[in-house]
Amino acid sequence: MLRPGVRASDLVVRYGGEEFCVLLRDAGSEVAETLAGRLRRALNASVIATHGVKLQVTASFGVASFDPITTETWETLFHRADETLFRAKRGGRDRVETG
């Protein structure tokens, strides 16, 4: 459901049980935040029918951008993204948070 909304150069992977990671190549924080909002709205418009019940999809996004000038590691970048994701979930879910 996420892949059609990203560029061919971007990577979408499962990061946890119900968590996914979208790695954007050559995209700043504003582009990442805009894309996360677009993906959230697309998912929210999706309906999954199962066992005669229609389920609406919601998604929370935590956005973190890598700054190549700093000495940040991939580990700290993922940690920041994870923190913003949990902030989105605590803030009411189905939302985008940046950090």
Active site residues: 18
What is the residue type of 16?
G
CB 38 within 8 A of CB 71: no
- Residue 15 has, within 13 A of its CA and on its CB side, a CA count of 14
Where does the chain have alpha helices with state H? 29-44, 74-90
Residue 77 gets the label, from left (phi > 0), alpha (psi -120 to 50) or beta, of alpha
